[in-house]
Structure formats: structure tokens, C-alpha cells
Structure 1
């Protein structure tokens, strides 16, 4: 297959910037190839994925060497890290100099990544002759482990190239783009899309280190063209916009604002659009599938929708019997199943889990429930396990109720789950963070609000008030924690 980074030797400008530290393309090529020489026979390598130049260089070097990289979340506890290390069996760990590694990593050889190696003009023959094959493992990324120990999704080089090239088409992504993000680098959003994506195009990455609206204003106001974020980041942006005209100006000048990893509430969509004249577009993907759908840069941004299938991706909705839902029924909720070159190869050491993840015909069962508009736009309403509520004979997606609740001026955050009910089967439960904790909206008021916007059978029967919603590192609400509280 073609190289993952065809621009590595052709581009001359800035490739990576983390804070005040940066590498040009010639410097990245020299630095990464120097490290790749040391990794050629390493088997698998773990990467202590701090938001740093060293993490980006380490992953690029592993890919140049044809060695699978295992990104590690620096916030993981010892038990989770121990499981991942036993499962993936890396031979060494790459880290930035000075990083303090936990005891779980003590048995691994440590290689500090030196980003001070500069272009020396020499040739660096790296790894196996030629580019590794398209099915060669590139990354092993561990899932969140919400239903058991984390599983290692083996992502081949083919999947990375297919997703990034499909997004090039959908987003009109080019080497002229400068991307800003503050996402973690142990996840496919921040690492593959946010770091490897620009490098495949020959563009530039400016990582904020730690997300803040000041950094967004600074970078978008000084030449950056794209912003990647998760809903919690865009929520903070929406909250800050009324008092920050410079932020509004910077966002208005961006070519593309992209949100992913969870649904962006419609209320935040509308607030950002009203203040900046720009609409955030959403895309939909998973660790196992990389990217499946997106609103196109030349398409219609539609709040609450994740766009249409990307080039090369087949997508269908199926009912509980596994039968395909009619494409012309916009009210029919079904599970999303996908197939295409963007899919993972397997769960490492888990043949049973791998087999169970696929339906006949090679369709991957995402577990996400969705509606589909007549023009093909997909609207995700929640997870099959936690967000599909069967109440009074109706199948109800939690996501649309959450969006309706967030339109109420007295609601700051909201999540919706179901719980057993002897009459309805399941009753709808709203978990609400009030805008004013001293004067929260009443349960009856919220029920009437939802019923007026959606339908009476979709109103919450129970409202529980919280100071905050439990979220993971990517900003996703941890609904299993709510259901157990």
C-alpha cells in the first residue's frame, strides 16, 4: 500500500506544535526515523500517551518501523494498566523524558523519546523493505471497558488510511489546513484524526496541551483553519461566547469546526451558530470502526445529525430480529451496523468477542441506535444497552429527550435513562443539573416541556437532580454510573 505519511519528505513547513515547542517536517522525518531504527525488532511498543511532541513522534516512529503501537492513558489505574500490558505484551514503553511512570510499567524497558534530534540530511533505512502490507497492525487501542476489562482493538494500516482519506474527501482537508485541538492522544479522535490526519495531508497540528478557550482564540486567530473537540469543549465555548467577542471572531474565521466522540447538544449548536455565524459539524465513529459518517464540508450542517456515510462505508439500521429497517421510515429506530475498509481486524486475544461483534455478511454491530432522515442523514439516539428505552410499547431514544431538556432555560446538563416499571415496562428517568441549584425546574415543568416538544409518551416520569454528571476522559456521560446510583 502507499505510505501512511506521503508528505513526510515533501512538506517543508511546521508539522507539530505543542505549546511553544514544534517540529518542522524535515525535523519530524529525521527524529522519527532515528527512533524507528531502534524499534524495528521491538515486536509491540507501548506509548505513554501524554499530550506532547514525544507521544506524536513515538507513534510516527513505530508506524515507520512497522511496529504496532499501544497508546496508554496516563490517567489509567494500576489494575487497568496491568491488564492492558499483560494482554498486549509490549517489549518496551516510549515516554517523554522526565515523565513519572506508574509501578505497573516498572518491568518494561523504558525508551525516552528525544525530539532534539534535528535534520541531518542522512538517509534512514527503516524497518522491513517497503511499506508494510495493508492488513499489518498499526495501533492497538483499548476500549473503555464499560462492560468488562478493556479490549484491544487491532487497527490495521488499511483502516487508518481509509478513514483519513475518506475525511479528506468529506471535509476538503488539505495540506493547507492547520488543525487545533486539545484532545488526549490515547484515543482515536485525538491521535488518529487529530495528529496522524494532518500529517498524512502534509498540514500542521497545534495541540493546546490543555483545552481552554484562550488557546482556541489564540490559535484560530493566528492562522489555524480547523478545530476538533468533544461536546464538553464546545459547551465551554458556548458558555464563554457571550462575554468573549475575540473568541467569537476567531471561531467565525475557522474553515471547519468539528465535534465528535459523543452527541453535541442541539442547544450548544444553536448558541455557537448564533454568536459566530458558523455551525459545528458532527461525525460518528468508534474505536473499532474509526469514522463511519460525517456532515460534509459542502453539505448541510444539521444540529443533532452526524451526516451521511463516508466514502467506502456501508451503513444500515437493523431491528431486534436483525432485519434491515426500511430506509424511507424516518421514525424507525434501529441499531447501526457498518462494514468497509475502516474496520478493525480483531480484538486482541479475544476470538469469541471478535466473532460476536459481527453479524452475517461482515457487518459490525456498533450497539448504537439511530434514526435516518429521508436524505440519508443519520441521527444517533443512544446506545442499545443504555439509551434505548422501551416504555408503554414505544421504543424511545434517550438522545432526543436529552436535547429537549437542554432547551429548557433551567437545565444546564441532562442525561436520560430507563428503569423498570411494572406498568410501562420501563419508565423514563431524567438526570438534571439545574442552571440554578437553588431554584431547579420542577419535575412536572420538565415533563410538560418534553411532551410539548416531542410527544407525551416521551416525557420523563422521574427527575433526579445532580450537581454534575459523571463523565469519562472524552467527555462521555457514564450512564452506567447513574443507573447504579
Structure 2
């Protein structure tokens, strides 16, 4: 099994096979640079690369994949202590690119795009680890997830068939290269399909392409900028993943581009498991149907199957060829084993899925009702004075949990926001407490740390 045919000399030689922040490499130059990196790290146990999106970082990442050394992308926002923890836990023995604080004395090998080589590296075993990615850290310290070459190939091939992805496509994205969505789906997916790949600079400006990948927060910013959004009408497909996309954002993008973004679903452990295709695109959290060959089940708190009636809610578990191999420092995942995602979903009678939120964090349990926090957050974010918002359930003596909102806003009062929610949702969904903060606590990977909000509520 060849994971990335382009790194074996397959496909046409394109002048702009990979472009990052305006710098491009041809297919031939990319292969030569990547091979030179692979030569220098031969025998490494695991290879760390700073996740800041540069052409050197992409070449370093692909060099690790070609050499068969597990790639460990480091979040640029991680502090020295977190970087040190990731390097130590992952077993990285070398860092590619620039020297980093918290490197614990590991050797650093610079990536020089002028260096080329033509060595033929053997294809690693399909079951060997291709990458070690760290989870978002929403409920605690991020965990290292081992993902095999076989799982990545299976997921990308299934996605290619579902999305009609071919070598004629141009994949454009600005999603982080240290997350599964940006690295596996975006970069590795484009190279496996033989597509051109473009990673945008920090401004998010660049070519349109035929497939545009972005995260929900990026789509939200784009929806407010018609100048940037309107050219996307020329794209074949807009894709959102790595979190729920607000209905107001999706509708605004439809008006600007004539496209509704496909809302795919996956986790670091499962990769993309639900295609975003099928179902009602106007329903918040609608993520379509599972990829062929990916099995799913939805269980309640007593581990009983939840009926597919579009209303009943349970925790989603996944089983199939796209699953991770295990956590760093833990036992490998047995073949055929189910992975509980920690996400609450409902399933419609036609088999399409809707993501409600994370167990224990994204659902408020009040008077026996389950209220999706995201629905309340969407309404709060629709107020022009609100820049960011997060909703959690905090203890209440009579209700069980009360709706508590943490908001980054200007020129509004708590009562104004409570009334604003009340105009769109039920009385029980109005926040009972509103905390104004300068910023929301986020993990090194950019996820809101709702556990900290609940602890402080």
C-alpha cells in the first residue's frame, strides 16, 4: 500500500503542486526536497515539526511520512511546558525546522528547500503509525492519538469516493496543520488524490480552488466579509469540520456563494466518519451519513440503542477501518473494537445524523430536558455586540443545571442578551447567569476549555 503516490513519482509534474502562504513547489521539487529530509531523519523513532504553516514545515511533515517515522505536529500556540510534555510523551527523537524552547535538548534539523535527493525509501508497513496527533484538550490535558497509515489511506479513499475528489481538484484551506482536519484531510488528502494543494496565509486570502476547507470559526469570519466569500461561488465544494457550524453562518454563506458548506464529522480518533452528505443542510449540526464501511451506534446512559426518530439522543460510537491505533502510552485498539466518541447525537428515520454536543459539556440538563448549548451560543453570537460566546450548565438547587453564558461583548448588558435569546428560543433556554469576560479560555489547540468555565461557574 502506497500512502502518498506523489512521493513515489506518480502523477503529472505540476509547477504548483503545493503552495503555502504564496510559496510554491513543483511536483518534482517537492519530491526532491521531501526525500532529502527523509534521508536526514532515517531511523528516527518519531519526528516533531512545528505546526506553523510554512513551506518548510509542510516539507518536513511529508519527509517524516516518507521516512516512516511517526509525525508529531506541534501546536504553535503551545507554551514551553506543553511542548515539552508532547515531545516527551510522543517519544520524538528529533525536531525538524526551527529550534524551539521546551525541546528538552532534542537535536534540531533545519529544512532547506535547496536540498534535493533521489533516494528510494521503502514503503513502511500499513499498520505502522503515520502520525501522532494530540486531542483538543477540552476536558483535560490533550492525549496523543496514534494513527496508522492504513487508517489514513482508508479514510481518504472513502472520502474521495463520497466527495468525488480527483486529481483535477484544487484543495484550498487555512485550517491548522496540527489538527487531523488540516493535516490528514487537507494536506495528505490532496496528495493522495493527486490534487493541487494550497494552504492560505494568516490573512486567509488566496485562490478559490475547487474544494475549500475551513473550520467553523474561519467560516464565521468569511461570512462577515462578502469580498472574501463571494469568489467562493466558483468552488465545487465548501467543507466545514472540526466543530459545529452555526446555522446563521451557513445561511449567510449560501446567500454569498450559492453553496451550503458540507458539514463533515470526525474526531482525532476516528478521522472523518460522517460525510456531511444527505439529510437537511438547514438543520444545525446535521452531518449526514456514515462513510461506507464505517459502522456507528448510538446508546443511551444505560447502553441501550437509541431509536432513530430524530428526537432521541445518545452517545455516538464508531467502529471501522478509519479508527486510530491507540493512545500514546496506552494499549493498542483491538481490531473490531468500538470507540465511544463522547459526542451526543440524534438519528433521523432516514439514517442521517445530527451532532448535539459533547457529553457533560455541550448539553444543559434542566428539569429533565436536554438543551444543546450550541443552539444558545448561536443565538448569542447573532447579536451584533457579541464577539465570542460559550454556554455551559452549572449546578442549580431546583433545576439540576442552569444555563450559564460566558460572553466577550461590547455595549450590551446581561439583560439585553437574556432577552435576545428569549426572542428566538424557549424561556427555559434563556441564560440565568451571564458572565462578561475579556476572552474565553482555550487549549493550545484552540478549543474552548468548558471544564474551566464550569468549575468557575
What TM-score do you get using the length of structure 1 for normalisation? 0.86
Q: Distance in 1 between matches of 2:109 and 2:186?
A: 24
Cα RMSD, aligned residues only: 2.4
Equivalent pair of 2:316/2:341 in contact (CA under 8 Å): yes
CA separation of 1:248/1:150 partners in 2, compared to 1, >3 Å: closer, same or farther? closer
Shift of 1:335: 0.8
Q: Distance in 2 between matches of 1:402 and 1:84?
A: 32
Partner of 2:92: 90
Partner of 2:250: 269
218, 237, 243: which is aligned to 1:233? 218
Shift of 1:283: 0.8
Q: Distance in 2 between matches of 1:464 and 1:264?
A: 23
Partner of 2:31: 29
CA separation of 1:467/1:65 partners in 2, compared to 1, >3 Å: closer, same or farther? closer
Question: Any idea what SS the aligned residue of 1:7 has?
Answer: helix
Equivalent pair of 1:257/1:279 in contact (CA under 8 Å): yes
Q: Distance in 1 between matches of 2:324 and 2:418?
A: 46
Q: Distance in 2 between matches of 1:169 and 1:302?
A: 24
Counterpart check, 1:364 vs 2:339: yes
Counterpart check, 1:334 vs 2:314: yes
Equivalent pair of 1:43/1:68 in contact (CA under 8 Å): yes
Once structures 1 and 2 are overlaid, which stretch shifts more, 439-448 or 26-35?
439-448
Shift of 1:248: 4.0
Q: Distance in 1 between matches of 2:391 and 2:138?
A: 18
Equivalent pair of 2:137/2:449 in contact (CA under 8 Å): no
Q: Distance in 2 between matches of 1:136 and 1:392?
A: 49
Counterpart check, 1:427 vs 2:422: no
Equivalent pair of 2:136/2:447 in contact (CA under 8 Å): no
CA separation of 1:167/1:366 partners in 2, compared to 1, >3 Å: closer, same or farther? same
Alpha-carbon deviations, 1:217-246, whole Å to 9, x = none?
x411xxx212111111111111112xx3xx
Equivalent pair of 2:418/2:430 in contact (CA under 8 Å): no
Counterpart check, 1:390 vs 2:365: yes
Show the 5 A alignment for 1:311-350.
311-327=292-308, 329-350=309-330
CA separation of 1:58/1:484 partners in 2, compared to 1, >3 Å: closer, same or farther? same
Equivalent pair of 2:65/2:130 in contact (CA under 8 Å): yes
Counterpart check, 1:210 vs 2:181: no
Partner of 2:119: 124
Partner of 1:374: 349
Shift of 1:431: 3.1
Q: Which runs of 5+ in 2 are unaligned?
A: none
CA separation of 1:470/1:231 partners in 2, compared to 1, >3 Å: closer, same or farther? farther
Alpha-carbon deviations, 1:186-226, whole Å to 9, x = none?
111211111111011111111113143xx1xx411xxx212
Shift of 1:406: 4.2
Equivalent pair of 2:381/2:388 in contact (CA under 8 Å): yes
Equivalent pair of 2:380/2:417 in contact (CA under 8 Å): no
Task: Report how many residues are paired.
Answer: 452
260, 264, 267: which is aligned to 1:283? 264
Q: Distance in 1 between matches of 2:389 and 2:145?
A: 31
Equivalent pair of 1:232/1:475 in contact (CA under 8 Å): no
Equivalent pair of 2:403/2:432 in contact (CA under 8 Å): yes
CA separation of 1:85/1:406 partners in 2, compared to 1, >3 Å: closer, same or farther? closer
CA separation of 1:232/1:132 partners in 2, compared to 1, >3 Å: closer, same or farther? same
Partner of 1:167: 159
Partner of 1:460: 431
Partner of 2:137: 145
What TM-score do you get using the length of structure 2 for normalisation? 0.91
Question: Any idea what SS the aligned residue of 1:160 has?
Answer: helix
Q: Distance in 1 between matches of 2:246 and 2:149?
A: 33
Question: Any idea what SS the aligned residue of 1:162 has?
Answer: helix
Q: Distance in 1 between matches of 2:363 and 2:418?
A: 23
Partner of 1:101: 100
Shift of 1:468: 4.6
Shift of 1:403: 3.1
Q: Distance in 1 between matches of 2:215 and 2:393?
A: 25
Equivalent pair of 1:405/1:450 in contact (CA under 8 Å): no
Q: Which runs of 5+ in 1 are unaligned?
A: none
